[in-house]
Chains A and B, each alone.
Chain A
Amino acid sequence: MSIDLKTIKHISKLARISVDEKRAEKLAGDLNSIFDFIEKLNELKTDNVEPLTSIAETTLKLRSDEVKSKNIREQIIKNSPQDNEDYFVVPKVIE
Chain B
Amino acid sequence: MSDITKQSLTELVENVKNKKLSSTDVTKAFIDRSEKSEELNAYITNNFTSALDKAKKFDQKPNLDLKLPGIPMAVKDLFCTKNIKTTAGSKILNNFVPTYESTVTENIWNEGAILLGKLNCDEFAMGSSNETSFFGNVQSPIDKNLVPGGSSGGSASAVAGQLTPVTIGTDTGGSIRQPASFTGIVGLKPTYGSCSRYGIVAFASSLDQAGPMAQNVKDCALLHEVISSYDPKDSTSIDFKRNHYSKELTNNIKGKKIGIPKEYRVDGMPKEIEDLWKKGIQYIKDCGAETVDISLPNTSYALPAYYIVAPAEASSNLARYDGVKYGFRAKGKNLIDMYEKTRSEGFGAEVQRRIMIGTYVLSSGYYDAYYLKAQKVRKLIKNDFDEAYKKVDAILTPSTPSSAFKIGEKTNDPVSMYLNDIFTVPVNLAGLPGISIPAGHDSKGYPLGLQIIGKAFDEQNILNIAYAMEEKINFKNKITDWWIK
Interface centre among B96, B337, B379 (most CB of A within 10 A): B379
Count of chain A residues with Cβ under 8 Å from any Cβ of B? 50
* CB of A71 to closest CB in B, whole Å: 13
CA distance A11 to B96 in the complex (A): 28
Decide: A38 and B99 in contact? CB cutoff 8 A.
no
Q: Is the CB of A60 within 8 A of B235?
A: yes
Q: Mark B351-366, 1 if CB is under 8 A from A, else 0.
A: 0110111011001000
Provide the A59-95 mask, 1 if CB < 8 A to any CB of B, else 0. 0110100000000100110111110000010111100
State whether A40 and B97 are in contact (beta carbons under 8 Å apart), knowing that A8-B356, A90-B338 are contacts in the complex. Answer: no
Q: Which B residues are CB-close (under 8 A) to A31?
A: 353, 356-357, 360
CB distance from A51 to the nearest CB of B (A): 4
Is the CB of B206 closer than 8 A to any CB of chain A? yes
B300: nearest residue on chain A (CB-CB)?
Answer: A40
Judging by beta carbons under 8 Å apart, are A80 and B325 in contact? yes
What's the minimum C-beta distance from B58 to chain A, rounded to whole angstroms?
28
Main secondary structure on A side of the interface with B: loop
Judge whether B336 is part of the interface by a CB distance below 8 angstroms. yes
Give A7 to B239 CA distance when docked, in angstroms.
45
Chain B residues with CB under 8 Å of A79's CB are: 95-97, 99, 325-327
Is B391 interfacial (CB 8 A cutoff)?
no
Q: Which residues of A contact B96 (CB under 8 A)?
A: 79
Residues on B with C-beta less than 8 A from A37 are 303-304, 307, 415, 418
In the complex, B232 has a CB within 8 A of chain A: yes
A16 to B358, alpha carbons, bound, how many Å?
A: 13
- Check B343 for interface membership: any CB of A closer than 8 A: yes
Given A75-B100, A76-B325, 6 further pairs, Cβ under 8 A: A16-B340, A33-B414, A44-B298, A51-B372, A54-B206, A79-B325
Q: Judging by beta carbons under 8 Å apart, are A15 and B359 in contact?
A: yes
Write out the residue numbers on chain A whose beta carbons fall within 8 Å of the beta carbon of B305. Answer: 41
> B359 and A41: CB pair below 8 A?
no
Q: Are B376 and A50 in contact (CB under 8 A)?
A: yes
Q: Which residues of A contact B192 (CB under 8 A)?
A: 55-56
Q: What bracket does the count of chain B residues touching chain A fall in?
A: 35 or more
Contacts of A30 in B (CB 8 A): 353, 414
CA distance A78 to B327 in the complex (A): 11
| A27 near B356: Cβ-Cβ < 8 Å | yes
Cα distance A19–B305 when bound, in Å? 27
Interface contact B325-A51, CB-CB below 8 Å: no
Contact A44 B340 (CB under 8 A): no
CA distance A76 to B303 in the complex (A): 38
Q: Which residues of A contact B (CB under 8 A)?
A: 3, 7-8, 10-12, 14-19, 27, 30-31, 33-34, 37-41, 43-44, 46, 49-56, 58, 60-61, 63, 72, 75-76, 78-82, 88, 90-93
B335 touches A93 (CB 8 A): yes
Q: A11-B359, A82-B329 are in contact. Are A52 and B379 (CB under 8 A)?
A: yes
A50 to B375, CA, bound (A): 8
Which of B319, B333, B375, B380 is A53 in contact with, Cβ under 8 Å?
A: B375
Q: Which residue of A lies closest to B303 (CB)?
A: A37
Asked whether A40 lies within 8 Å of B304 as measured between CB atoms, the reply is yes
**Given A46-B373, A91-B334; A81-B343 close (CB under 8 Å):** no
> What A residues does B340 contact at CB under 8 A?
16-18
Q: How far is the CA of A61 from the CA of B338 in the complex (A)?
A: 39
B465 at the interface (CB under 8 A from A): no
> Which chain B residue lies CB-closest to A20?
B344
Q: Is the CB of B415 within 8 A of A33?
A: yes
Which residues in window 67-82 of B have CB below 8 A to A? none
Q: Which residues of A contact B95 (CB under 8 A)?
A: 79, 81
* A81-B326 in contact given A11-B359, A75-B99 (Cβ < 8 Å): yes
